[in-house]
Structure formats: structure tokens, C-alpha cells
Amino acid sequence: MAGAKQQPPEESFEGQLISGKYRVERLIGSGGMGTVWLGHHEVLGTRVAIKFIRRAFAERPDARRRFEIEARAAASVKTRHAVDVYDYGLTDTGLPYIVMEYLEGESLSEVLVRRGPMAPHEVSSIISQAARALTKAHQSGIVHRDLKPDNIFLATNVEHDDAAPYVVKLVDFGIAKILDTAQTGQFGGPTQDGAVIGTPNFMSPEQLTVGGAPNALTDLWSLGACTFAAFTARIPFEGEVLGDIVLKVCMHPMPVPSAYNAAVPAGFDAWFSRACARDPKKRFQSAEELAEELAKVCGVSPSASKIRQSVAEPAEVMYQLKPADPAMVAELEKLQAPQGMSARTALMAGLVIGITLMIGVLGALAWRAKVAEEETLKPPVEAASGDAGAPKK
């Protein structure tokens, strides 16, 4: 579990007055696409965080669009559990900026590196607060698309309950999708059809393999993966190259949390298998449901009953088969894990899984046909002898 790499700024904004009202102070954070600076409103005196897009991206329409999406999406999620956006505009030189709520504290990723696995009651509280933000976002037609421990922030400078010294805030809506039903009825965003972007270790199978339009259920998969990380201080689907991550997310046996931390509460293995079910229909169908069931497992809710046994049903055997073409897999595993995934890579991964599923289906049909044939050929005496002729389990 490591935080996002900090990239040095290309230029300093320290001391500048932005739009005649925001005075820039010092650098407080940086990433691949932008830098974040502490500032204050000249008249009101309030502290703010000001994010500037890097000039290397300022001339790219897709990057500017993504920057605008971040401002629009975050501003549309009206909840104390998402970072507030106060303003958006251009500097005198035409550089886009976002003025946001200034937060002090640590990301969930940083806390896990420092402290290791968390206690059940704390995990439940963090995920519950994150789920509230997701509920508001989904109700507003917004899909975050990049939920990971780095983007779950534990803010200590915000009024909080006595139960915990922080408030959870979802941050970085830079690759969010916004559903504009009034105009197109489709998810709008900065990527082209077929492109898959995000953090592969926390992306759902459908995002990694087909590049389909993300929806609320892809966010729920990612939140489930973040919960695994909170309990184990490990990334659930690790890999040095993209191909390895894709195979683990889509085809290998799912990780079992208790195998990495024996202290996880009873029922959490089953909860995780449902939260990150490869079939979206078998997942929790809302962030609220996901958080409520986790609270029960963690003993936080008044009703601490175990989660339904149906969530642990192993209904995805075919996804666990090995791919049939070693050459294709070898080529896939050579691909480095970038921030995003191209349409070509997504298509290749989809072909691998398609071939695997075809083999699994044909194998299952052949096995059933063979069993039916054997039953037909059994002599009458053997057929009447109970379990004598049944295959051993």
C-alpha cells in the first residue's frame, strides 16, 4: 500500500493573486496532471486548496475536459463526505484552476502504511461514510470510477463526531462520469469509447475487459476492494504488469481476506465475495446496502447477524479456468500497468476471457452429456442400488 507518487511542480504559483481574490501560498500536493497549493480568500480570509492543471496538459482538450469534469462532479455531490468545490476558472494566462475545500489529515492508503490493518469498527465507519458520498454521487448521476485508498481521505480539520478524530472525504473526481440525461442520456466524460482508465488493481472486471460504460456497480466493486485493503493492509489484486492484474481480477480464484488477516470478523470473507462478485447482478446493488451489511458483519449495527450464506455461493467456477492460449497470455503479461488501458489491450483481455468462457461452457456441456449417457447405460440392478453408482464427490 503506497500513496500516489508526488511529481515536482513545473512552475511556482506562490504569491500570485488568482482572479483578484485568491492569494496562493505554498505547494501542498502534486500529481501527474496538476499541482495543489494552499491559498486564502483575500476578503474572507478563509483557507482554500487551489489546483492548477500542468501546462503540459493545458493545451490538450481531453485533459482540460477531465479537469472540468473533476470540478463539475465534485461540486454536484452535496454531502459532507465529498470534497467541496468553491470555484472554477482560468488564470490571466488561460490556465484552468479549481478552488476546493482545504483538508488536513491522511489518505486511507497512508494510514494503512503507517498503522497496518484496521479494527472492524473503524473499517465499518470509514466505509459507511464513503458509501454515503457514493449514494449522493449516484443519485446525482455521477460515477467516481477511481475509488482506491488514495482517494479516501480522513480529514482532521473538519467538524467530526466524538467516535473518530476525522471525517471521511472522497476526493479526486478527475475521471468521473457524469450522466447528463437532459442532453444525451449517456455518461459524459473525458475518455473515448473503448478506453479504460483508472487504477487497475481496484477496477471491476467489466471495466478492465470490455471498457463498457461505468455505472454505480463498478464503484461498489472498487469500494469492496478498498474494504479488503483496510482489513489486510494489502492490495487485493496485486501485479507488476497489467496482464497479471487483469488475470487476477477476472479469472483467478478470488482472494480470501481471512487468509491474510485471521482477525477479520466472521462473515467478512462472504461479504467480500459478494461486494466483488464478478457478475454485477450478484453484488450489493447500492452503496447503502453494502455499508449496512458490513456493519452487521463488524458488529456495529444493532442487528449483528451474519450475512446471508447465499453471498458465498461459488457460482463463478468458469471464471477460474486457466486461459487456453499461452502465447496470448504471455503477450498480455508483457504489458506494463499504466494509469489507463487502451482499447487494444481491453480487446485482447476480452478475447482471453471469451476463449476461456467458451472452453468452460463446452466442457460443462460435454460433462453433462457424458453423465446422462452413463446413467442411460447403467443396468437395472445398479440403478436401484442407491449411491453405489454415483460419482464420488
> Catalytic site residue 162?
no
**Residue 138: strand pairing partners:** none
- Closest C-alpha to 148, from 122, 130, 123, 128: 130
Cα distance between residue 259 and residue 273, in whole Å: 14
Which residue in the list 84, 146, 150, 172 is annotated as catalytic?
146
Residue with cell 482545504: 102
| Catalytic machinery residues | 146
